[in-house]
Amino acid sequence: MLNQNHLSQQIPGYCATTSLTVPRSCGQQRGQGGEETMPLDSEQDIRPEMKEDIHDPSYQDAKGPPPKLEYVWRNIILMVLLHLGALYGTTLLLSCKLYTLLWGIVYFSISILGITAGAHRLWSHRTYKARLPLKIFLIIANTMAFQNDVYEWARDHRTHHKFSDTHADPHNSHRGFFFSHVGWLLVRKHPAVKEKGSLVNMSDLKAEKLVMFQRRYYKPAVLMMCFILPTLVPCHFWGETFQHSLYIATLLRYAVVLNATWLVNSAAHLYGYRPYDKNINPREQVLVSLATLGEGFHNYHHAFPYDYSASEYRWHINFTTFFIDCMAAIGLAYDRKKVSKASILARIKRTGDGSYKTG
């Protein structure tokens, strides 16, 4: 379908993005009922260099009972301890210094950006390009978030998109809220995840020195950026007690970062409308967008994984897009991919659940 598309450069106001437009005469076809439809893969040329996150509907789960769960007790114990620590942290909130609270919020926001603008939109989906200073900031922010290194995160995430909600999806939401939220990290991977995940092309990340550098030094880097630094700064700079610093700025903040991100895999795959594609599980979930600085427009994101905004809109409940646009304004981000309105409307018409509100 390559020749049916028309790639164009748009400069809409504040930012220049690569945008795909589909001419009515050549990009749309007549459906059985006379409605205008577009071929499934017609929007994919917007990012020709990457196909690894495109949904493969031909993959189906093999028949038979699911394999027995194999618990990873180390992870279970660590997760229980972390959440107990975070819970205790909430009881200290009223007695901590204001700066400690602000520090926790800033650290939360930077950590989330390391996931959303970094591991997700830049490295997993290649929805925009970043210059070295921005990449260095994002890899540090990503290390602060401690959710596996970028390479592993991106491999799991590409597998999630490609084999969404099957046994080959690391956090298959058909296995329930708890499994897709955190349970998948507490048990051994399903054999289908290992098999399919190992086939995902990761050559682009293998060739990126910064990503490989983070992978090599991940453990000491995480110890410093996720645990030691956020605990020591409040104690050293504004005389916070070690107890308040550890339980609020470190354990509570880390637990909130984790749970906010996990909501994308659980809540945003289970609760909400599917205005762009009713045939897939991911949903539009405003609360998740609020918690993750813009990653809850999940039905849109799975329909158009190559859009740098992970949403039809730009700054609407989407601090991550605002951040990327600010980086673009100072020349650190460029080549932001944005799906054209015409393509979005055609997709809504073809596969939406009818909940889309116009005007």
Q: Looking at residues 281 to 310 of the shown chain, list those that interact with Zn ion (rule: CB under 5 A).
A: 282
Instruction: Return the range that interacts with Zn ion (CB under 5 A); candidates 86-94, 146-154, 233-241, 274-282.
Output: 274-282
- Residue 195 to residue 159: CA distance in whole angstroms: 10
Q: Smallest distance, Å, CB 64 to Zn ion? A: 25
| Cβ neighbours around 62 below 10 Å, total | 8
Q: Smallest distance, Å, CB 127 to Zn ion? A: 9
Using the minimum distance from each CB to Zn ion, give the nearer residue, 307 or 325. 307
Instruction: Return the range that interacts with Zn ion (CB under 5 A); candidates 17-25, 40-48, 202-210, 277-285.
Output: 277-285
Binding mask 83-112 for Zn ion (x = CB under 5 A): ------------------------------
Q: Smallest distance, Å, CB 262 to Zn ion? A: 11
Using the minimum distance from each CB to Zn ion, give the nearer residue, 133 or 176. 176
Q: Smallest distance, Å, CB 119 to Zn ion? A: 10
DSSP string across 261-293: HHHHHTHHHHSSB-SS-TTSS--B-HHHHHHTT
- Residue 160 to residue 144: CA distance in whole angstroms: 23
In terms of DSSP bridges, do strands 129-130 and 333-334 run parallel, antiparallel, or are they unpaired?
antiparallel
- Residue 49 to residue 204: CA distance in whole angstroms: 10
Binding mask 204-233 for Zn ion (x = CB under 5 A): ------------------------------
Using the minimum distance from each CB to Zn ion, give the nearer residue, 124 or 231. 124
Using the minimum distance from each CB to Zn ion, give the nearer residue, 157 or 253. 157
- Residue 72 to residue 70: CA distance in whole angstroms: 7
Instruction: Return the range that interacts with Zn ion (CB under 5 A); candidates 192-200, 207-215, 275-283, 289-297.
Output: 275-283
Using the minimum distance from each CB to Zn ion, give the nearer residue, 127 or 143. 127
Q: Which of 3, 46, 45 is nearest to 27 (CA)?
A: 3
Q: Smallest distance, Å, CB 34 to Zn ion? A: 34
| Residues 163/169, Cβ–Cβ less than 8 Å | yes
Instruction: Return the range that interacts with Zn ion (CB under 5 A); candidates 71-79, 103-111, 181-189, 276-284.
Output: 276-284
| Residues 293/109, Cβ–Cβ less than 8 Å | yes
Using the minimum distance from each CB to Zn ion, give the nearer residue, 137 or 153. 153
Using the minimum distance from each CB to Zn ion, give the nearer residue, 54 or 235. 54
- Residue 263 to residue 178: CA distance in whole angstroms: 10
User: What's the Cα-to-Cα distance from 157 to each of 161, 246, 268, rounded to whole Å?
Assistant: 6, 31, 15
Q: Which of 226, 263, 247, 225 is nearest to 101 (CA)?
A: 247
The SS3 call for residue 127 is coil
Q: Smallest distance, Å, CB 305 to Zn ion? A: 5
For 253-265, letters b (16+ CB in 10 Å) and e give bbbbbbebbbbbb
- Residue 191 to residue 189: CA distance in whole angstroms: 6
Interface size with Zn ion, residues (CB under 5 A):
1
Using the minimum distance from each CB to Zn ion, give the nearer residue, 221 or 258. 258
Locus of tokens 């994919």: 44
| Residues 154/305, Cβ–Cβ less than 8 Å | no
Q: Smallest distance, Å, CB 153 to Zn ion? A: 11
Instruction: Return the range that interacts with Zn ion (CB under 5 A); candidates 270-278, 280-288, 314-322, 334-342.
Output: 280-288
| Residues 69/179, Cβ–Cβ less than 8 Å | no
Binding mask 36-75 for Zn ion (x = CB under 5 A): ----------------------------------------
Q: Which residue is nearest to Zn ion (CB)?
A: 282
Q: Which of 166, 193, 171 is nearest to 182 (CA)?
A: 171
Which one-letter DSSP state was computed for residue 340? Answer: -
Q: Smallest distance, Å, CB 298 to Zn ion? A: 6
Using the minimum distance from each CB to Zn ion, give the nearer residue, 104 or 272. 272
Q: Which residues of the chain form contacts with Zn ion (CB under 5 A)? A: 282
